[in-house]
């Protein structure tokens, strides 16, 4: 193989990588607060919010079976059925595995269940509730000390062969846990906690592992604690953000998302807001290209010390 052929093959690989990893909108709408765990939106309000997201360029909706004590998926599904939205124009993500203490379950304690039977039952229940024939992505919600890759693969292989899930991934998994599960299952995504105030994934090998293995990172709670807590760390960050809002003509939340978007792992933030204005702001964050030194300035202020 000559040099030109090698370059062509590399370009083809990059294009395939980009195709796989651009299946989801760059900003993902998290639905945890849409139901009784948050805004308690009516069916018509959910329907309007779906259209608002799509009009803003956010076409991926992130669910978990446990949201709303196992009620939010059904509420969303009822709204989706009335929305007139083409299923092919959106992507639905859901998670399974957490057995939560709720009125609809006879659970004595919160625990995890990754038996193949439970995974299949959980997905089929999510499909019924969401009123869809397939999930674009299924995630194991949190790692369990009792999970086994072969048991998981029995379910994933069957669900994929039946067309009930397109892709499989994990959530909150460490590199070693991803390595174990991937011995029998192809992992396409890992949804992790990552933000300007929760950036351990940059230093503990998690994001490195995902880049190396072409696994798409999704970040939950991408605004971190910046607007939820007042302490020395968040005070330092706000001082810099106050300066940068003028430089970039952007809001603070947009700059925080832009900080995440600059990471080479191609992190997709999962925003938790159900407020239309904040959703619009978040969608526009993709247009901001943070200066390299501004990116490091925010990191340094969050850390409280300069980089090594």
Q: pLDDT value at position 2? A: 56
CB burial of 152-166 (b: ≥16 within 10 Å; e: otherwise) equals bbbbbeebbeeebbb
Is the per-residue pLDDT at 51 higher than 70? yes
Q: Tell me the C-alpha distance between 206 and 125, whole Å.
A: 31
Catalytic option among 24, 67, 70, 114 = 67
Sign of the torsion angle spanned by Cα atoms 55, 51, 266, 307: positive
What residues form DSSP beta bridges with 99?
111
What φ, ψ does residue 298 adopt, rounded to 5°? -65, -40
Grouping H, G, I as helix, E, B as strand and the rest as coil, residue 144 is coil
Provide the token pair at 250. Answer: 């952007």
What pLDDT, on the 0 to 100 scale, is given for residue 8?
43
Is the pLDDT at 112 greater than 50? The verdict is yes
pLDDT reported for residue 21: 44
Nearest to 99 by CA among 138, 64, 66, 63: 66
Question: What rounded mean pLDDT belongs to the chain?
Answer: 93
Distance between the two ends of the chain, CA-based, in angstroms?
Answer: 42
Q: CA-to-CA distance for 69 and 257, rounded, in angstroms? A: 29
pLDDT one-digit tens code per residue, 224-271:
999 999 999 999 999 999 999 999 999 999 999 999 999 999 999 999
In Å, what is the CA distance from 135 to each residue of 14, 162, 259, 303? 26, 12, 29, 38
- The dihedral built from the CA positions of residue 36, 37, 42 and 43, taken in this order, carries a sign that is negative
Cα separation values, 285 from 25, 52, 154, 167, 248, Å: 13, 16, 40, 27, 11
Q: For the residues 131-152, what does the mean pLDDT come to?
A: 98
Q: Set out the domains of the chain in order of their start, with CATH numbers.
A: 3-229+257-288 (3.20.20.100)
CA atoms within 13 A on the CB side of 151: 13
- Phi and psi angles of residue 136, each rounded to the nearest 5 degrees, phi first: -70, -30
pLDDT per residue over 175-186, tens digit each?
Answer: 999 999 999 999
Query: Tokens standing for 65?
Result: 């079976």
- The answer to whether residue 308 scores a pLDDT higher than 70 is yes
Q: How much is the average pLDDT of 104-113?
A: 91
Percent of the chain with pLDDT over 70: 93
Q: Tally DSSP H helices, then E strands, for the chain.
A: 12, 10
| 264-187-116 Cα angle (round to 5) | 155
pLDDT of residue 15: 40
* 67 is a catalytic site residue: yes
Cα(279)–Cα(260) distance, integer angstroms: 16
Flag whether pLDDT at 7 surpasses 80. no
Give the DSSP H/E element, type plus range, for residue 295: helix 292-303
Q: What is the pTM of this model?
A: 0.91
């Amino acid at each position: 193989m000559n040099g030109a052929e090698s370059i062509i093959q590399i370009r083809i690989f990059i294009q395939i990588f980009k195709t796989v990893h651009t299946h989801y909108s760059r900003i993902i709408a998290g639905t945890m607060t849409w139901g009784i765990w948050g805004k308690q939106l009516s069916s018509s309000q959910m329907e309007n919010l779906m259209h608002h997201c799509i009009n803003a360029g956010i076409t991926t909706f992130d669910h978990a079976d446990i949201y709303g004590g196992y009620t939010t998926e059904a509420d969303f599904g009822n709204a989706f059925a009335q929305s007139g939205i083409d299923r092919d124009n959106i992507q639905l993500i859901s998670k399974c595995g957490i057995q939560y203490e709720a009125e609809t379950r006879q659970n004595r304690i919160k625990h995890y269940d990754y038996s193949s039977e439970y995974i299949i039952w959980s997905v089929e229940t999510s499909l019924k509730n969401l009123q869809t024939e397939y999930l674009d992505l299924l995630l194991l919600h949190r790692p369990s000390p009792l999970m086994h890759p072969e048991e998981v693969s029995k379910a994933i292989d069957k669900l994929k062969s039946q067309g009930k899930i397109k892709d499989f991934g994990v959530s909150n998994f460490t590199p070693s846990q991803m390595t174990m599960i991937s011995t029998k299952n192809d992992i396409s995504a890992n949804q992790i906690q990552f933000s300007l105030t929760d950036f351990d994934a940059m230093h503990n090998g998690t994001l490195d592992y995902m880049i190396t293995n072409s696994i798409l990172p999704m970040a939950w709670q991408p605004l971190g604690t910046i607007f939820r807590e007042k302490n020395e760390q968040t005070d330092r960050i706000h001082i810099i953000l106050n300066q940068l809002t003028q430089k970039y003509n952007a809001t603070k939340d947009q700059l925080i998302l832009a900080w995440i978007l600059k990471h080479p792992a191609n992190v997709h933030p999962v925003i938790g807001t159900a407020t239309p204005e904040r959703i619009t702001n978040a969608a526009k964050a993709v247009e901001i290209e943070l200066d390299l030194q501004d990116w490091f300035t925010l990191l340094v202020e969050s850390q409280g010390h300069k980089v090594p």
